[in-house]
Amino acid sequence: MPAIDPDRDCPRCPRLVDFRNTWRTREPDWFNAPVPTFGDRDAEFLVVGLAPGLRGANCTGRPFTGDYAGDLLFATMIDFGFATGSYEARPDDGLTLVGAAITNAVRCVPPENKPTGPEIRECRPFLIATLEAMPRLKAVLALGRIAHDTMLTTLGERRAAHPFGHGARHDIGRFTLFDSYHCSRYNTNTGRLTEEMFRSVFADVRAEIDAG
């Protein structure tokens, strides 16, 4: 089975390699490497983001850890029984996922938080391997349109047949793909995504999984 996570010095994307090496020099104590999937391969629920944040997962080495998006994501996951413990924005905070895993479509931090199309394609084998390594998977939550589109391409589905929309659900093969606006500070500050909207999606995911 192909590796589900890239090597620490993955060479696939020259621009991302250069950016990674720049930050290894500037911040040698940071993680500064492809961020691995967090969680259990036996999980029934997978959250898919776009890419690590520079001062978030790229610094800490754990998806959504160390930036604002993680504050909302992990608090919600705890409330809906997908995590236990306390989220304190560091990888040794003792937070544990329950029946869930978190990954990113692109594993390396991109400049300005914007991976290119070719970079998304280069990282797709790791997303494919992650999905194949999770035999009990029932629900996938795509955070944002790009994560949604990447999931569709990974699954060989047409975008026109499964348009992105906050709160939308798409039954694809052995699991259901759920959509949410990304839980970024920008989206929450502008009101594009409220806590209630985010919790509503998680309620749907919880119901899907609990239904068996």
105 residue type, one letter: A
Give pLDDT, residue 152: 97
Tokens of residue 181, six digits = 């606006």
Q: Is residue 85's pLDDT more than 70?
A: yes
Q: Which residues of 125-144 are buried (b: 16+ CB within 10 A; e: fewer)?
A: ebbebbbebbeebbbbbbbb
pLDDT of residue 170: 98
Q: Which pLDDT does position 2 carry in this prediction?
A: 60
Q: How confident is the model at residue 212 (pLDDT cuts 50, 70, 90)?
A: confident
Helix (H, G, I), strand (E, B) or coil at 136: coil
More confident residue, 1 or 51: 51
The yes-or-no verdict on residue 1 having pLDDT over 60 is no
Tokens of 62: 């754990």
| Domains with residue ranges and CATH for the chain | 14-210 (3.40.470.10)
More confident residue, 77 or 1: 77
Check residue 12 and give its pLDDT: 97
Q: Please, what is the angle between helix 195-210 and helix 68-79, to 10°?
A: 40
- CA–CA gap between residue 8 and residue 24 (Å, rounded): 12
**Rounded distance between C-alpha atoms, residue 57 and residue 36, angstroms:** 10
pLDDT surpassing 90 at residue 69: yes
Q: Strands 139-143 and 175-180, how do they pair?
A: parallel
Q: Residue 50 phi/psi, 5° resolution?
A: -90, -60
- Cβ(50)–Cβ(17) below 8 Å: no
Which tens digits make up the pLDDT trace of 103-144? 999 999 999 999 999 999 999 999 999 999 999 999 999 999
Kindly report, residue by residue over 4-18, the tens digit of the pLDDT. 999 999 999 999 999
* Phi/psi at 100 (5° precision): -145, 160
Q: What pLDDT does residue 3 have?
A: 83
Mention every residue, 6+ apart, whose C-beta is less than 8 A from residue 87: 65, 70, 71, 74, 75, 78, 93, 95
pLDDT band at 158 (very low <50, low <70, confident <90, very high): very high
Residue range 172-200: mean pLDDT, rounded:
97
Which residues have C-beta within 8 Å of that of residue 211, sequence separation ≥ 6? Answer: none
